[in-house]
Amino acid sequence: MWAICIAAAFLYARQRGIPNEIALVLLPAFLIEAKFYLILGTESLRLRVTRLLSRGGLAVALVASAVIPFLGATLATGSFTWPPFLILAGLMSVAAFWYVLLPHLGIVDLAFLVILAAVILSKVFREIYPDPHPRLPLEILGQLAWIRVGAFALLEIRGVKVGFGFIPTRRDWMVGLRYYLFFLPVGAAIALGLGFARFHPLDFVWWKTSLIALGTFLGILWVVALSEEFLFRGLLQTWIVQWTRSEWLGLGIAAALFGAVHLSYRDFPNWRFATLAAVAGVFYGLAFRDAKSIRASMVTHALVVTTWRVFFS
């Protein structure tokens, strides 16, 4: 895994014009975060950690795992200061200890989801993590840590079961691919009809285009789709269905909220993108409902975004 990360870091630095000395100095922090993120997405590793620690001990370990990459990055670049460190530790403590200190009730769950989303939308990590280079935003370390700590708390302290993990099963692939194909003509018609996108494929060099498509798919699958499908389908859709006792109401509300958070894309309010995202959210929700696993909706989600980035602009 680290070998793949090092290769990806080298290619990214070359592509973005990031000096080698900066990339090498920051590489350990990203490798550490990648290791922690791997534990989150690998059920056997995640359960092994959980069995070793009490709930309180697990929360402490989660906070420590979030600040270690921050320390590695800021100490290596000489940009460490105490206020950002304390803010980061405070935020991670809220997420890690939420279900240790509070009861497992619907209102508590809802408040936790609001906090998780609010921190991401506030872009606070942009202020906490100093950028050593204009094309290397370190806030991604904070975003990954926030996703990881929140998801770990929900999965192993709250006890949520939603088919969480990096590797889709054969059924997940089949269901995810089916709903991607169902969405494709609908999404293309809406995107083109609203003027949100136009058909503009990448300059085709088969090996280069294939690498870009594969890299985009895996990046979306394991980071963006993993976090968004966990939040909107695994948690929101599931809980709204339980509260309302209506499969369709839960699916529809989760899809509408998924669309709403995309209003801030580029220029607020971006109604065209929000509309397209809400419609896509319906198909993601259907994939989750059929497979009973967010890995299926992750496949649909990742295929949709990869198609958009490769063939549309």
What string of pLDDT tens digits covers the 313 residues of the chain? 888 888 888 888 888 899 989 999 999 999 999 999 999 999 999 999 999 999 999 999 999 999 999 999 999 999 999 999 999 999 999 999 999 999 999 899 999 999 998 998 898 999 999 999 888 899 999 999 999 999 999 999 999 999 899 999 999 999 999 999 999 999 989 988 888 777 767 666 767 778 888 889 999 999 999 999 999 999 999 999 999 999 999 999 999 999 999 987 777 888 999 999 999 999 999 999 999 999 999 999 999 999 988 887 6
151 with 6, same domain: the answer is yes
Is 13 exposed, middle or buried (CB count within 10 Å of its CB: 0-12, 13-18, 19+)?
Answer: buried
Asked if residues 294 and 162 have their Cβ atoms less than 8 Å apart, the reply is yes
241 with 197, same domain: the answer is yes
- Whether 163 is covered by a domain: the verdict is no
What is the pLDDT at residue 204? 67
219 with 257, same domain: the answer is yes
90 with 44, same domain: the answer is yes
Q: Which domain holds residue 253?
A: 170-311
Cis? peptide before 83, omega within 30° of 0: no
80 with 198, same domain: the answer is no
- Whether 164 is covered by a domain: the verdict is no
175 with 36, same domain: the answer is no
Give dist(CA 140, CA 129) in Å, integer.
9
Give dist(CA 270, CA 7) in Å, integer.
36
Of the three residues 158, 190, 224, the one that is the final residue of a domain is 158
Output the pTM of the full model. Answer: 0.89
251 with 224, same domain: the answer is yes
What is the pLDDT at residue 141? 96
Of the three residues 130, 158, 186, the one that is the final residue of a domain is 158
First to last CA, the chain: 32
Question: How many domains, the chain?
Answer: 2
Residue type, position 24, single letter: L
- Whether 77 is covered by a domain: the verdict is yes
Give dist(CA 36, CA 45) in Å, integer.
10
136 with 176, same domain: the answer is no
What is the pLDDT at residue 140? 94
What is the pLDDT at residue 207? 72
